[in-house]
Chains A and B, each alone.
Chain A
Amino acid sequence: MGELLVDGGRCQGHARCWALAPETFEIDEEGYAHVIPGRENSGDEPNVRKAIRNCPERAILERETNEASEKASEVSAS
């Protein structure tokens, strides 16, 4: 599991993440999503998995924290 983040370049504000996992995602004034500070490690929770699988833009990423590489990779739907 890595650190959760919403890729601002991809997020288009469908707000599915917020509908499915409001304890982890918040929506800003323009409608774009962000991970609530302190919730970056909630990626294993069932609601968050569901949000990841339902985001139409595939914008919810997990940044590898165990590697030196800061490469963000898309979480697979499985």
Chain B
Amino acid sequence: MSTETERGLSHNKSDFDFHGRSLDNIFDEYQDILANGPVGHSNKYGGFWYITKSEDIFNAEQDPDTFAVGPSMLLPAFGTDVPLIPIDIDPPAHADFRKILLPMFTPMNISKLTPGMRETAQQLCQEVLTAGDVVDVSAKLARPMPTIIFSRLAGYPEQDWPIFDRWIDEIIYERTAHPETAYAAGRELNDYFDRLLDEREKAGPGADASNDLITQLLKAEVKGRKLTREELLSYCYLLFLAGLDTTAWAIRSALWYLAGNPQAQQQLREDPDLIPTAAEEFLRTLSPVQAMARTAKKDTVVRGQEIKAGERVVLVFGAGNRDPEVYEEPNDIKIDREDNRHLAFGGGIHRCLGSNLGRAEMVIAMEEFLKAVPHFERANDDEPWHGVGPLTLKIGA
């Protein structure tokens, strides 16, 4: 309490959280915060300031000298205290690390992958169809599709894929309640990549003609030198978590919405050209990344609120994406919304490197699912909009 009175915050949510079950009702929470106190202080996770207005988030992202990503953009940590490359790296080192993989994620390069993505989506949708009338489409499509697509792109051997979901569950979803579980899984993941890098290095450059991400990282140079093993491990660790989990959530949340909204489902069936526009709206309103952390590098003021150097700051993208000053009827999901400049992939120098890939996977998953699967509804209303847990659908209802 003393913090609140000292800081003179009239409408503060000292228990504001953006993980786990807090997400169940977070959109009401955002609305309240945006209307009554868009900058405030939470005591969770060691304490942080939350920033919720779209404009304030935009400005913070454009100002990495004030809002640094170190020690980590993740709060709480992703099962490791090693800074993850490139998301936890500030300028000037950041640009060199980011440059390594940028060319692989351009829309042109991603479009080369789309035939393979489509084939994978079609196969998975067939499996959904043969699984019966009540199917967990998270387990059958939303999770395996990004795992297959990203693992191929990255160069993770297929026999290893079955263990990936557990690492993601433990590192990303257990970290708030059971940090020790997250750290244990984090060590396993790190060891896994250490072995994989050993194997790939032993095989030598010419041995593998592939152009996967690991090959690119092994070849890459930063300021005229190769990446160290620590840097390689950090990059691999981040790519793994970023490439698999977020897209699974994005696909799952889109299907969750469509399952509860037969009219929208029908509209997209009749007009599949609308799917990319709808995908943007789902990204705005149901995004896998609701918030990311920064650290104030110097004393600063946001919307009249003083923030001191060294304090943690959380940019609540999910709230900014529902800011009534930016969007008409911000809490309505309008699948044909055209003006949709949203914060789902962040912005500024740390803009999600995989945004073009994530978008393509999401659109293709929706296209193929709607093509293959007849009318579907939610079979279990207790399953939340968020996360990558089960999404049980009644198919052909």
A binds B: yes
Which candidate, B213-221, B237-245, B347-355, is the interface stretch facing chain A? Answer: B347-355
Q: Judge if A54 is at the interface, Cβ distance under 8 Å.
A: yes
Cα–Cα, bound, A54→B359 (Å): 15
Total contacts A to B, CB within 8 angstroms? 54
Task: Report yes or no: B106 in contact with A27, Cβ–Cβ below 8 A.
Answer: yes
Chain B neighbourhood of A12, CB < 8 A: 347-349, 351
- For this complex, into which size category does the number of interface residues on chain A fall? 10 to 19
Which one of A18, A54, A56 lies within 8 Å of B107 (CB-CB)? Answer: A18
Task: Report yes or no: A15 in contact with B107, Cβ–Cβ below 8 A.
Answer: yes
Most central of B107, B340, B348 by chain A CB within 10 Å: B107
5 shortest interchain CB distances as A-B pairs: A12-B351, A31-B106, A15-B107, A56-B347, A30-B102
Q: Mark A23-64, 1 if CB is under 8 A from B, else 0.
A: 000011111000000000000000000100111111000000
List the interface of chain A (C-beta within 8 A of B): 12-15, 18-19, 27-31, 50, 53-58, 77
Chain A interface helix/strand/loop/mixed? loop
Chain B neighbourhood of A56, CB < 8 A: 341-343, 345, 347, 351
Chain B neighbourhood of A18, CB < 8 A: 107
A47 to chain B, nearest CB (A): 11
Q: Mark B30-67, 1 if CB is under 8 A from A, else 0.
A: 00000000000000000000000000001000000000
Chain B interface helix/strand/loop/mixed? helix
Task: Report yes or no: A31 in contact with B341, Cβ–Cβ below 8 A.
Answer: no
Task: Report yes or no: B351 in contact with A14, Cβ–Cβ below 8 A.
Answer: yes
Which one of B58, B103, B343, B347 lies within 8 Å of A31 (CB-CB)? Answer: B103
Cα–Cα, bound, A54→B348 (Å): 15
Q: Judge if B99 is at the interface, Cβ distance under 8 Å.
A: yes
Chain A neighbourhood of B108, CB < 8 A: 27
Task: Report yes or no: A53 in contact with B341, Cβ–Cβ below 8 A.
Answer: yes
CB-defined A-B contacts under 8 Å, sample of 25: A12-B347, A12-B348, A12-B351, A14-B351, A14-B355, A15-B106, A15-B355, A15-B356, A18-B107, A19-B276, A30-B102, A30-B106, A31-B105, A31-B106, A31-B356, A54-B339, A54-B340, A54-B341, A56-B341, A56-B345, A56-B347, A57-B347, A57-B348, A58-B58, A77-B341
